[in-house]
Structure 1
């Protein structure tokens, strides 16, 4: 039994898989993240079973770069989409073949592009003509041919996306109207091989029809480009952006309906381009439901007719739950963890330890009656948790992470300590003399 059913807002308040939360908290200092291996495997298996066969799935490490989770997903059958040198190294060190890695991002550094060429990854997803020229120069210096995918900022936008990534002026991709210049430039860059097209329209899409429409639009543009420029692509990356239900009144993505809608779209494209693979890259959808953030109530205090539950982990560990960078603050699924006391629910403001009023994990949230020392769990926290949070604020550091499978638990990241936080701080005199 995992922390969540795939489409549920209800947290299993007693245990994650076969291990009680209290037992974990006795072994691992709070706050910490716990992940259900069974949930990860189940969610990915359901995705593959429901969507059309023959799609290649790539895990976006930006959602959660923990190397143990990356290895688990790769063993289940995903490739890796990386955005930094460290993410590239994580994938390679976890046994991901270079041919199963793509590197994306609008501001790739020379060192990153160099390592991509040395590793011989599936494709560097180039996001500007200038980047194409730089990559060609690097590949020439190394004496290699590097495969690329053109990331395109199309004239159309993604439907129902919470965060729109294309169809507007963006740092991502080459504008559709600039593609003639891009193909002209590519014809003069002998060290680059065009392997694919990449279009990412937006994130957190919960409407299956919108996802089907977005995929149709992307494949239609890809087909037009292949015909116009007489190119034979290895793959078309249609992005992803599959959403997860976090908040009240949100409806979970209807995966069977999406699979049914995508079937004719995918089949029609394959009839015209049978060699070309379709790639879907997913982060949140593969990992979010499997994770729960566990924090402990340090104090309960009244303030002007409200009760505050002050916890040992807050926005510093889970910025998404605290609504950092969100226009509207809404509560993630949250519950008191542990055996039921058969008590009434009460309204709480759940905060962390930070010296800022924005450190609010739950606002006016109804929870079973709390006591100091109780554990609180925030569900659907496997994606964009600590890695997207200001873990350095007030020097609390990164929390521990645990992977649970059946009755076994594995510490997959230790919590930062005073020593690990202070180790990078040095005072070294720099030599400023000209070389």
Structure 2
């Protein structure tokens, strides 16, 4: 995380002290580096010029300012709800560069998406084909679609973020793919434009992507034999990032391997779509949290902080590991223990069995928190969600105000 580095003994985001940000905006606090977001975006876009396309997975980080930065760079967007479509458009994204994925799109969401003129739907079931066709005919439009097909490739990742196996809820089984495309070809409200898959998240090897790509290219050849031609192959997202000891491949190696596969299979005319999320924003953000108390018993030490699982769910949900550092490193004896929050759950932890030199009042940074941090946050235990700040060299922007207690019950009412 080169955009987060020590300067004069204090951790900085670009040119701004994280101590100063915590003093100004309070904690818990999400801090993002604009330079890091833009650099990671360009790492993809450099190797995928038009007609290829990079669509940012909005679920990773949906803050309007983050989306705005990407929209200005010409990003496409992968969305999974009507709310995410609205966010993209509010941030300046283009409707025709939106890919609408997701397994349970409502009639209202489909209708709104068609009226807005989004680029395409990634369809996840045969019943969804009928749904989109019905609504398209009602509106007098034709919907561009790809089918998301499960290549049944084991991505060897956490079971909660594996998505390409037949037992997962996503997509259409490979055995049903040709018949599903034949069904789509008979529906007058649909226009087949591509084939899509997504095998999982936080993958650190290229080979699973290539294995999935071989199966998808085999499918494309079968479809061509049936007279069904497609314009692009959407390989989804899933490229991993370094949280600790992981060693994911460089983005350039990953993309060049995929393009080489297209070449060896004589499919250079296919546009390649990718949908990175984590790979763009994970290492562009940190979560700042203040140490409240130290506690120990006969078997355990605890560093109790003001951020909890409602602010950053990944460690509790996925047993995910984030590096946690003192923003102003101390000298002295370290404490070996768990970094835990104030939420009333045993599973409320940000890190376990960590070694830190720390005192009450110290500011800690949970690193690599830019993806699936705020977007998965909640008001559990009636806790207001954190503020978010964007750093741009020496400038800072409050891009989401901290929620107030009144925000906690906004929309609720007492009965008479």
Q: Same fold (TM over 0.5)?
A: yes
Corresponding position of 2:20: 23
By how many angstroms is 1:272 displaced?
Answer: 3.8
By how many angstroms is 1:300 displaced?
Answer: 1.7
By how many angstroms is 1:170 displaced?
Answer: 3.0
By how many angstroms is 1:13 displaced?
Answer: 5.3
- Indicate if the aligned counterparts of 1:51 and 1:256 stay in contact, CA closer than 8 A: no
Corresponding position of 2:95: 98
Number of residue pairs the alignment of both structures matches: 411
Corresponding position of 1:3: 4
Give the one of 300, 306, 311 matched to 1:312.
306
Mapping for residues 13-52 of structure 1, pairs under 5 Å: 14-49=11-46
Give the one of 137, 147, 156 matched to 1:140.
137
Corresponding position of 1:359: 348
Give the one of 313, 320, 323 matched to 2:316.
323
Corresponding position of 1:432: none
Deviation per residue, 1:299-330 (Å, 9 max, x gap): 1222225332111111110011x332x3xx35
Give the one of 349, 358, 367 matched to 2:338.
349
Corresponding position of 2:197: 199
By how many angstroms is 1:124 displaced?
Answer: 1.2
Corresponding position of 1:384: 372
1-structure distance, mates of 2:301, 2:5: 28
2-structure distance, mates of 1:20, 1:191: 55
Corresponding position of 2:62: 65
Corresponding position of 2:289: 295
When residues 183 and 100 of structure 1 are mapped into structure 2, their CA distance, relative to the original with a 3 A threshold, is same
2-structure distance, mates of 1:92, 1:282: 19
Corresponding position of 1:333: 323
SS at match of 1:365: strand
2-structure distance, mates of 1:189, 1:256: 39
SS at match of 1:412: strand
Asked if 1:408 is matched to 2:401, the reply is no
Mapping for residues 250-269 of structure 1, pairs under 5 Å: 250-269=246-265
Unaligned runs of 5+ in 2: none
SS at match of 2:275: strand
TM score, norm. by length of structure 1: 0.88
When residues 80 and 260 of structure 1 are mapped into structure 2, their CA distance, relative to the original with a 3 A threshold, is closer
TM score, norm. by length of structure 2: 0.92
By how many angstroms is 1:4 displaced?
Answer: 6.5
1-structure distance, mates of 2:179, 2:216: 20
Mapping for residues 40-189 of structure 1, pairs under 5 Å: 40-49=37-46, 55-154=52-151, 156-162=152-158, 163-189=161-187
When residues 14 and 167 of structure 1 are mapped into structure 2, their CA distance, relative to the original with a 3 A threshold, is closer
2-structure distance, mates of 1:428, 1:126: 43
By how many angstroms is 1:74 displaced?
Answer: 2.1
1-structure distance, mates of 2:26, 2:405: 14
When residues 85 and 257 of structure 1 are mapped into structure 2, their CA distance, relative to the original with a 3 A threshold, is closer
SS at match of 1:261: helix
1-structure distance, mates of 2:173, 2:304: 48
Unaligned runs of 5+ in 1: 6-11, 430-435
Deviation per residue, 1:120-142 (Å, 9 max, x gap): 11111111121111111111111
Corresponding position of 1:282: 276
- Indicate if the aligned counterparts of 1:157 and 1:164 stay in contact, CA closer than 8 A: no
When residues 53 and 124 of structure 1 are mapped into structure 2, their CA distance, relative to the original with a 3 A threshold, is closer
When residues 300 and 293 of structure 1 are mapped into structure 2, their CA distance, relative to the original with a 3 A threshold, is same
Moved more, 166-175 or 142-151: 166-175
Deviation per residue, 1:258-290 (Å, 9 max, x gap): 344334213345x5462x311011111111010
